[in-house]
Amino acid sequence: MGYPIIVYLDDGFGLAVDFDTCTKMANQIRDVLKKSGFVANEIKSVWTPRQSIGWLGFIWTLSNNTLEIPNTKFQGFKLCISALLEDASEYAGAGFTVGDNHIVHFMWDKVDRIKSSTWRELKAVKNILESLQLMLCGKLVKLYTDIRMLLKLYRKVA
């Protein structure tokens, strides 16, 4: 007979229609694990039915089918996202990261000034990303620019 459980590596939980069924299922699973030589961490293990449980760093509330991201994990996600604002004019380009305000700015030389505004926007993005690459490495980068064509080109390339 199978049980509605989910396991990830050495961590898991099960579901049942009522408290008694869940208790019986948990006890049977615990016995099978012991008989197979698996040693459960009794301090961390929860063998009594709960409607809300922490699992894999999230709070699972089964009574109302919600998944909560704890504040500590949410702060970690926010650290993985970097918003980057960029703009380029006829004379210069610049960009900065929102929050920590790392700034990149540069002037165009005479050759670059006569190129198209789309070229300057693309070149500005390239310069900014290259300048901030160590800081942005491993992060999800949101790029804000005022040229819609640039975003269409970027989506095709990415």
How do residues 29-61 score in pLDDT, each as one tens digit?
A: 899 989 999 888 888 888 899 988 888 888 888
Q: Where does the pLDDT of residue 139 fall: very low under 50, low under 70, confident under 90, or very high at 90 and above?
A: confident
**Over 70: is that where the pLDDT of 158 sits?**
no
**Tokens 């699992």 appear where?**
55
72 or 16: which leads in pLDDT: 16
**27 found inside a domain:** yes
- Of 13, 45, 70, which closes a domain? 70
- Give the range of the structural domain holding residue 101, as residue numbers without chain letter: 80-157
Query: What is the chain's Cα-based Rg?
Result: 26
Q: Total structural domains in the chain?
A: 2
pLDDT of residue 79: 63
pLDDT of residue 136: 82
* Residue 83 contacts residue 116 (beta carbons within 8 Å): no
d(CA 26, CA 53): 14
Average pLDDT, the chain: 83
DSSP 79-135: HTEEEEEEEE-SSEEEEEETTT--EEEEE--HHHHTS-HHHHHHHHHHHHHHHTHHH
pLDDT of residue 115: 92
Is 88 found in the same domain as 63?
Answer: no
- Largest distance between two CA atoms of the chain: 79
**Over 90: is that where the pLDDT of 86 sits?**
no
Residue 136 DSSP code: H
Is 58 found in the same domain as 113?
Answer: no
Is 94 found in the same domain as 142?
Answer: yes
C-alpha separations of 156 from 21, 142, 149, 150, 152 in Å: 53, 16, 11, 10, 6
Is 60 found in the same domain as 13?
Answer: yes
Q: What percent of the chain has pLDDT over 70?
A: 87
pLDDT of residue 112: 93
Q: Three-state DSSP class for 77?
A: helix
**108 found inside a domain:** yes
pLDDT for 58-76, tens place per residue? 888 888 888 888 887 766 6
147 or 154: which leads in pLDDT: 147
